[in-house]
Amino acid sequence: MNILMIEDDRELCSAVSFRLEQEGFSVTLCHDGEEGLYYMQETPYDLVILDRMLPHMNGIKVLKEARSRQIKTPVIILTALGELNDRLTGLNCGADDYMVKPFAFEELLARIRCLLRRPAAYNPAADAVSLGDVTFIPETRRLSSGKKDCTLSSREGDLMEVFLRNPGQTLPRQLLLTRVWGLDSDVEEGNLDNYIHFLRRRLKTVESSLQIKTVRGVGYQLEVFQ
């Protein structure tokens, strides 16, 4: 599981990332808001831990920009600003949880696991997603290209949206399993391979030029041909 921590307190970053890595998470650290927003946009993290008081761009602005760009990654704000209005501002701007410093690591870990257990955090947005010659409507799970179209199953639709929102990126198998089936699911990896096969057939059905490429030993990548 990949976590991005955007925090300018380097000692805190080091301590929290060390504990999280002991729990089996992979942690990326950055120390200013602009860099953090870039990371959120370029990499499909499973969760973001975000400070409010950051150099270059404060955490609230980072969060607003991320949500305006349709970045749906769950976000926990971790900050010293703990007044009621501070909490309401963070939550109303799109945070999924809000914690005040100082904090117990065990509580942070419990909140992280709680968010990652919620498949709803990864539910498709209602807006249509277009890429290359394909348009996908998550609400109806309708996939179309030119005059051809078809309807995907719920699981196919969730998987298709993950690919369409991360074109050209190599998506690890575990990330795909977590995004589509949920953190605590006991689904076998072979099920993912089956659904990749189904999506490839769907793309052929609508005569799309998009292709899902196998990246051996890592996962899959959606290729877009101009």
Burial (CB count within 10 angstroms: exposed 0-12, middle 13-18, buried 19+), residue 174: middle
Query: Which residues 6+ apart lie within 8 Å of 180 measured at CB?
Result: 122, 155, 158, 159, 162, 192, 195
pLDDT one-digit tens code per residue, 41-61: 877 788 999 999 999 999 999
Residue 119, pLDDT > 70, answer no
Q: Which range is least confidently modeled, 107-121, 128-142, 192-206?
A: 107-121
Spatial CA neighbour of 51 closest among 4, 107, 92 = 4
Cα distance between the two ends of the chain: 32
pLDDT one-digit tens code per residue, 19-49: 999 998 999 999 999 999 998 887 778 899 9
3-state secondary structure of 31: coil
CA-CA distances (angstroms) from residue 52 to 3, 14, 27, 81, 188?
Answer: 17, 18, 19, 8, 39
What pLDDT sits at residue 203? Answer: 95
CA-CA distances (angstroms) from residue 217 to 139, 173, 213?
Answer: 33, 9, 12
149, 142 contact by CB (below 8 A): yes
- Tell me the HSE value of 224 on the side-chain side, using a 13 A CA sphere: 14
Residue 184, pLDDT > 70, answer no
d(CA 191, CA 171): 16
What pLDDT sits at residue 11? Answer: 94
Residue percentage of the chain with pLDDT more than 90 = 55
The sheet carrying 219-223 orders its strands as 170-172, 219-223, 211-215
Write down how long the chain is.
226
pLDDT mean over 6-17: 94
Confidence band for 194, pLDDT divided at 50, 70 and 90? very high
Confidence band for 221, pLDDT divided at 50, 70 and 90? very high
121, 96 contact by CB (below 8 A): yes
Residue percentage of the chain with pLDDT more than 70 = 93
Q: What is the pTM of this model?
A: 0.56
Confidence band for 77, pLDDT divided at 50, 70 and 90? very high
d(CA 65, CA 159): 25
What pLDDT sits at residue 226? Answer: 56
Site of tokens 């209005």: 85
